[in-house]
Structure 1
Amino acid sequence: MAFFNENYTKLSESYLFATIEQRVSAYKKANPDKKVISLGIGDVTKPLPKTCLDAMHAAVDEMGHAETFRGYGPYEGYAFLRDAISEGDYKSRGIDIASDEIFVSDGAKGDTGNIGDIFAQDNIVAITDPVYPVYIDTNVMAHRTVKIIPCKEENGFAPLPPSFHADIVYLCSPNNPTGSVLSKPQLEAWVAYAKENQAVILYDAAYERFISEDGIPHSIFEIEGAKSCAIEFRSFSKTAGFTGTRCGYCVIPKDLMLTAGGETAPANKLWLRHQSTKYNGTSYIIQRGAAAIFTPEGRKEVTELIDSYRENARVIREGLLAAGFSCTGGVNAPYIWLKCPKGLTSWQLFDELLNKASVVGTPGAGFGEMGEGFFRLTSFGSHADTVEAVKRIEAAFH
């Protein structure tokens, strides 16, 4: 008889967003005449940029001719995309990240979950709370010791380096779910902590293109010394609408070394070995579409997409504040972190909004103990739906 991984029994009964979908489906079935507006999961609603589509159409045509057909691609991604990322996302900002430090994948979710495979089981992992569930669930599956860093309202939900030792630290800025960002001094403190503890920072920067304020780091590698203690994750899902086409990447600097049994190994080479064993590479067609993001036309179209979601975030944030609600986020991130009114729990607020306003959000309790009493709204809906949703929320709690 084969035995299952008993660590799965330590997880919550189901993935947060699967639970939400079940409740929403039941509501729709019972109320077929009501239009439900979702400000819940972070799925985009606008179509792919035309430049990306044109590039993918051309790539499809290439696959139909023997002289341009491509089979298996490089495990780490095609050079044309990694070169574009190196120049467009890093060197243009004065950050020296080489193409061979970039690994193309099907998105940040998979990378942040799978990166644990190159680390030993007995590493101590520090995870912020509230937190994106993938960070904690994948480490519970791996039977690692997880320690929580509480992110409190009075500190703007920013995580502070803890007094305890950790070998691996997950950070997310702009943050999902709270919409907070880490300043340069805050990141410098984290890099100092990592060096002191010989720890590795796993830095999720999937939402960096939503940063609108000057002085906020777009990459942890803007911090001196970070290349020897950090891995960065990014995604094209929210920036260019690739949630359905799937493409992202991680950066593992060659300076980052890991140790085991008295031996030292480059994390970069370990991850390449992992990918060559467990991953056959992102589709050539998708990678051509992603590379088009870095053309002048692609940049213009992506900026227009981001600006539209930023406007939605402004509508939600300012509308709720004007109506007397307390909320943060929505300035440098597509997420608004709403404080539950009237002493409601986050799941009670979920039910209230669904039943009274036909609006869907995400209960803060699904992001950890510190998320209780808060509620996440996203700016990825259409503008008209976003305006209508805010009106409905105001009316439901007037």
Structure 2
Amino acid sequence: MRLNPHLAAMPGGYLFGEIARRVQAYEPAAPRPIIRLGIGDVTQPLAPAITQALVDAAREMGTPEGFHGYPPDQGYAFLRRAIIDADYAPLGVGLELDEVFITDGAKTDTSALPELLAADARVAVTDPVYPAYVDANAMAGRLGHYEKGAWSRLVTLPCHADNAFVPELPRERVDLLYLCYPNNPTGTVLTQAQLARFVAYALETDTLILFDAAYKAYITDPAIPRSIYQIPGAERVAVECCSFSKSAGFTGTRCAYTVIPKALQGRVDGRMVSLNALWARRVACRQNGVSYPVQRAAAAALSPAGQAQVAAQVQAYIDNAHAIVAALQGAGLEVFGGIHAPYVWLRIPGGQSAWDFFDHLLHRAQVVGTPGSGFGPAGEGYLRLTAFNTAERTREALARILAVL
């Protein structure tokens, strides 16, 4: 049989798989329970409004009149309407129902959306970056050859302390630009003016922006944009991916949504084609959607009661992030993020490599972080900590970390 040579040529394993391997190898000998501040998985249970909706929908499915089979390709209208009314209307963003697509996760769509583009499309990402963006395009053969730790056709935009983790505009022509803000992994955000600069660039160069807004619920300053569509003209150049995972605890329940405005068009053989129509065609072919009970649960998360309940959960994670920042800064360490995001980006003290420091914390403190180098070359020298554990375990983890520095 003939295999995909691009997939076969990819380096190593997936970042979080390697973390899991190291933790599993050490855990049996650990002198005390390991505290995980690595993978961004939530710890609080689903809110009451969500679980009640799941129960009600499951019971409904058990009746002849309430049974639901395959969901509509784009998702049920009740959930798409709730998303528009709860997430976008308050921002002054107008959307039509068929511009919203329900999916099982933002990771799914941020990895699949490049299928809209030509096989040889040029891709740009920030560095450091969520690795799934890079891997998805590498599997499709867009990134060329992997040589000396870099892909030959991937355009990278370094983000570091010297530029306040705000990437420069690409200096060469690209077809697709990934932006994730609030950012994973650095926890930083873009101001209205900074995001507008990227929209203006995309309008000028005919570049598609894939804007990952999975962490928008953590923004506490109304001056910071929660959606790229708050920038005039973005509806002509941007796709936005959002998730219920980090806002409503759906990491194990699986529900998200992608917005593709009908004003967004691209060229095929000299003619203009709607990306919305292309994606609708792709969705009809490649997925059967999200189950009815889960979509009812997601809609409940956007109800007045649900919004209040999940906001309290998000605030608890925000409090954890603020506590991590305060404790590490109080110890004289340099940290970034953690204000409008559930991630804290720690500059590693003493010049250790990211993986060496990861191992140091694992074996000496029994705390798991995420080595920054796993997010790209510019992440070397940093460690990502997440705020998704409980307040008690977060405090304990901080005490352990500070004791072994």
What TM-score do the two structures reach when normalised by structure 2? Answer: 0.96
- RMSD, matched Cα: 0.8
Aligned equivalent of 1:313 = 321
**Paired residue secondary structure (1:264):** strand
Q: 1:265 aligns with which of 270, 273, 293?
A: 273
Q: Residues 113-128 of structure 1: matches in 2 within 5 Å?
A: 113-128=111-126
Corresponding letter in the other structure for 1:138: A
Give the AA of the match of 1:82: R
Partner of 2:61: 63
1:300 aligns with 2:308: yes
Counterpart Cα distance in 1 of 2:171 and 2:12: 32
1:194-226 per-residue CA deviation (whole Å, 9 max, x = no partner) reads 011101000000000100123100000000000
Residue number in structure 1 paired with 2:145: none
Partner in structure 1 of residue 4 of structure 2: 5
Distance in 2 separating the partners of 1:21 and 1:92: 40
Give me the whole-angstrom Cα distance separating, in 2, the residues matched to 1:260 and 1:142.
19
Asked if residue 181 in structure 1 is aligned to residue 180 in structure 2, the reply is no
Given that residues 10 and 140 in structure 1 are in contact (C-alpha distance below 8 angstroms), is that contact kept between their aligned partners in structure 2?
no
Task: Verify the 8 A CA contact 2:155 2:170 in the aligned structure 1.
Answer: no
Deviations 1:227-253 (A, max 9, x none): 000000000000000000000000000
Equivalence for 1:208: 216
Q: Which residue number in structure 2 is paired with residue 25 of structure 1?
A: 24
- Once the two structures are TM-superposed, the CA of residue 340 in structure 1 deviates from its matched residue by 0.6
Could you tell me which of 139, 142, 153 is aligned with 2:140?
Answer: 142
User: Structure 1: any 5+ residue segments left out of the alignment?
Assistant: none
1:12 shift after superposition: 2.6
Residue aligning to 2:146:
none
Contact 2:346 2:385 in 1 (8 A): yes
Give CA-to-partner distance per residue, 1:309-361, whole Å, 9 cap, x none: 00000111100000111100000000000001100010011000001100000
Q: Does 1:370 align with 2:375?
A: no
> Is it true that 1:157 corresponds to 2:165 in the alignment?
yes
Q: Does the 8 Å CA contact 2:348/2:382 hold for their aligned counterparts?
A: yes
SS at match of 1:40: coil
Letter aligned with residue 267 of structure 2: T
Q: Is 1:251–2:254 an aligned residue pair?
A: no
The question of whether the paired residues in 2 share the 8 Å contact of 1:346 and 1:375 is answered with: yes
CA contact (8 A) 1:139 1:146 kept: no
The reply to whether residue 385 of structure 1 matches residue 393 of structure 2 is yes
Separation in structure 1 between the aligned mates of residue 309 and residue 329 of structure 2, nearest angstrom: 30
Match 1:289 to one of 297, 301, 312: 297
1:35 aligns with 33
What is the one-letter code of the residue matched to 2:136? T
1:157-195 deviation per Cα after TM superposition (whole angstroms, max 9, x unaligned): 111212211111000000000001011111111011101
Distance 2:78 2:337 in 1: 35
CA distance in 2, matches of 1:282, 1:158: 35
TM-score if structure 1 supplies the norm length? 0.98
Check the 8 A contact 2:199/2:234 in 1, yes or no: yes
Which residue is 2:331 aligned to?
323
Does residue 97 (structure 1) correspond to residue 95 (structure 2)? The answer is yes
- In structure 1, give the amino acid aligned to 2:80: R
Structure 2 CA distance, aligned partners of 1:220 and 1:266? 19
Code of the aligned partner of 1:198: D
Mapped to 1, the partners of 2:170 and 2:265 lie a distance apart of 23
Q: Deviations over 1:110-155 (max 9, x none)?
A: 0100111121111111111000001111111111132111112111
Quote the offset at 1:54 in angstroms. Answer: 0.3
| CA distance in structure 1 between the aligned counterparts of 2:233 and 2:64, rounded to whole angstroms | 47
- Once residues 71 and 301 of structure 2 are traced to their aligned partners in structure 1, the CA distance between those partners, rounded to angstroms, is 20
Q: Report the Cα distance in structure 2 between the residues aligned to 1:321 and 1:30, rounded to whole angstroms.
A: 31
* C-alpha contact 2:99 2:260 (8 A) present in aligned 1: yes
Q: What's the CA shift string for 1:272-294, capped at 9, x where partnerless?
A: 11111010011111000000011
Does the CA contact (< 8 Å) of 2:186 and 2:384 recur in 1?
Answer: yes
Counterpart of 2:339 in 1: which secondary structure?
coil
Q: Distance in 1 between matches of 2:263 and 2:155?
A: 27
